[in-house]
Amino acid sequence: MSQGKDNLHVLQEIQGLSLAADDPLYYHYPAMKLGQLAQVNFFSEQLSNKAIDILTRDREENGDKNTWLITAPAYYQLPAAANLLARKIHLLLKGLGFNTSLAELRLGSQQIEVRDQQEFSNYHNYSKNTVTQRIKERQRVQGLLACDDLAPQFSGSSVLVVNDINVTGTQQKFIQQTLNEFGVKESHWLYIFTLDKQLAKNNPEIEYQLNNLRISDLDSYIEVLKDSQTQHTARCIGRLFDQDIDNFRYLAGAVGSQTRAKLYQLAQSEARFSGNFFAEKMQILANQQQEINKETVTNTGL
């Protein structure tokens, strides 16, 4: 196994439990996690400055020989916020003339469908998990990786891995193992936040607090769902399906027909929600989508 050198680059280290909602980084973070592009752009610009420093030093030391592969956490169909960050940073760097290419780790289709509440909690409420639960879930996800075709691209290369938060280091550890197996020469990890090690050990659930800061009620969540500039992330759709049935009905009715149709299509494509466990909620979206289709036919005179 080839061992890549590991370097951490962050915008801010969180050292205590008190999170100031008016701090710009904390303020923009929750909506970014849901895919609101204005917030994705806010963080991408700051992270790209870190990336520029890294790439400039590498260019000075090694010349412009290596292609840097910018990647992010593995996903199935719907990206995570970190994937959106990586895509935007890639575009910004390309525009500045850096020799970069984008590679994204993907998940295979085996065992994507959620079968019970425990599986869903492990997936969607990962930020509430203890260190032991996080390790178990990352081991499971590691077994779903479908990225062997990337190995030739990564071999001998320097890799800049974009993620949003480093809590216990569990996800980084498992992804780094994969990169090492691919023969990566050097890895740089780029984060918005990292947690003080002792704080992360004692309070890993602070990530959940941060994810829900400022967008803790249904109406603020609706505004993000309805925003035409939201590219709904896996977390955004997962939060919808995490609601109890009454809240789910309320949200489905409140977002409007256009957004509802989009949410239905996204939930179908993600496949996690297609089984019996979410059948009632999917049917609510499907029934309302059928009403939209009927109205469209009536209005067009078909």
Domains (range + CATH), the chain: 5-216 (3.40.50)
Give 243-260 pLDDT, tens digit per residue: 999 999 999 999 999 999
Tell me the average confidence (pLDDT) per consecutive run of 10 residues in the chain, 302 residues long. 64 91 92 97 97 88 73 91 96 92 87 86 77 81 79 86 93 90 91 94 89 92 96 96 96 93 94 93 81 51 51
Give 69-87 pLDDT, tens digit per residue: 888 888 999 999 999 999 9
What pLDDT is recorded for position 144? 79
What's the CA gap between 188 and 158, in Å, rounded? 8
> What is the four-CA torsion angle of 90, 228, 79, 246, rounded to 10 degrees?
160
Angle between helices 24-34 and 81-95 (to 10 degrees): 110
Structure tokens of 185? 């020469």
Q: What is the pTM of this model?
A: 0.89
Beta bridge partners of 70: 102, 160
